[in-house]
Amino acid sequence: MDRRTLRVFTYHSAKREKTPEDRSTYDPSGNPANSIPLFNVGDSVWLKIVRVGNFELTVAERRKQDGKYQYQLKDADGKLYEAGEWVNQERLNASG
């Protein structure tokens, strides 16, 4: 008697996209077109500067550049960090 195995393949044409609630970490190597903003204007964030340390700043502006989110930050006195330099999202951590 010849035994054959039946294989069932399921094809999903459209996978459900991950929502912010599904993400546990930020992956900067992912598809930038699907990138989501992690911070809003007015949020407090930590900026890590190599060999200097971490600084708590406030998000002044947000933009999407080449599929990735960037932020302008200001200090407690309201002065823009590095004269308004745009900082990539992966350099920031949530404050608080």
39 within 8 A of 64, measured Cβ to Cβ = no
- What is the band of 71 on the pLDDT scale with cuts at 50, 70, 90? very high
Are 58 and 73 in contact by the 8 Å Cβ rule? The answer is yes
Instruction: Say if residues 74 and 67 touch (Cβ distance below 8 Å).
Output: no
17 close to 35: Cβ distance less than 8 angstroms: no
Q: Which fold has domain 39-94?
A: SH3 type barrels. (2.30.30)
| Domain definitions of the chain by residue range | 39-94
For the beta carbon of residue 88, count every other beta carbon within 10 angstroms.
Answer: 12
What mean pLDDT is predicted for residues 34-59? 87
Q: Which of 34, 12, 33 is nearest to 23 (CA)?
A: 34
pTM higher than the cut 0.85: no
